[in-house]
Amino acid sequence: MAQNPTGTSIRTFTLVLICFLGLNSTLYAQSASKGSLKDIAFLDGRWRGEFNGGPIDGGWTAPAGDNIVGYLRMMKEEKVTLYEIFAFEQTEKGPVAHVKHFKPGLISLEEKEVSDTYNFIEAGKNTALFEKDDASVRIIYELRSKNQLVIQRGKSENGKWVFVDLFVFKKIP
C-alpha cells in the first residue's frame, strides 16, 4: 500500500477526507434547513388587496438584526375591522412568527402576554411555510411575481395539507 511521508496510508487519508466532507455537508444541510430571515425577506414592502368586501393593507420591513415586523389592516365601508401585528424573530430553530390581533381601538383579541406563534418549516425560492404551535394551521407566504404576494392558509384534511389563497396582494409603489 502506498504511504505518504508521515506514514499514513493514502487510503486512510482518503477515507478520513470523505467522512469529513460528508459530515460537513450533513451539518450544512441541518443548519440550512433551520431557515433564516433571508428566507422571508421577499415580504419587504407595502401591499394592498381585498378581503371580505373591503381593502386589506399589509406591510413588512426588511430583515434587520434578528427580526422583521409587519402589519395587516382590514377595512370595510371605510372603517377598520381588524389589525394584525407581526414580529418574525430569528431563533436557534429558525424564524418564528408572533401574531397579535386587535379590534378597532387596539383592543387585543388575545390575552395580554399571548400571541399566535408560527414556526418555520421550510422555504423555497420566494416561498416560506410556517406552522402554528398547535399544528392546526399552516401558512404559506409566496411571492408569485415581483408585484404579487399571496398568503395561503392550510389545514389538514384526510392526512394531507390543503391550502387556499387567503390574501392576494399587489405591491404598492
Q: What is the pLDDT of residues 116-140, one digit of tens each?
A: 999 999 999 999 999 999 999 999 9
Rounded-to-integer distance, Cα 139 and Cα 150, Å: 10
Which residues make beta-bridge pairs with 90? 95
Question: How many C-beta neighbours within 10 Å does residue 53 have?
Answer: 9
Q: Single out the residue of 77, 74, 78 nearest to residue 101, CA to CA.
A: 74
What percent of the chain has pLDDT above 70?
A: 81
Mean pLDDT of 11-31: 38
How many residues does this entry show for the chain? 173
Q: In this model, does residue 1 exceed pLDDT 60?
A: no
Could you tell me which CATH class the domain 35-171 is placed in? mainly beta
**Grid cell digits, residue 112:** 395580554
**Grid cell digits, residue 65:** 438584526
Mean pLDDT of 78-107: 96
> Domain coordinates of the chain in residue numbers?
1-34, 35-171
Could you give the angle at the alpha carbon of 123 between the alpha carbons of 120 and 125, nearest 5°?
155
The reported pLDDT for the residue numbered 168 is 98
**pTM score of the predicted model:** 0.79
The reported pLDDT for the residue numbered 34 is 85
Q: What is the pLDDT of residues 54-72, one digit of tens each?
A: 999 999 999 999 999 999 9
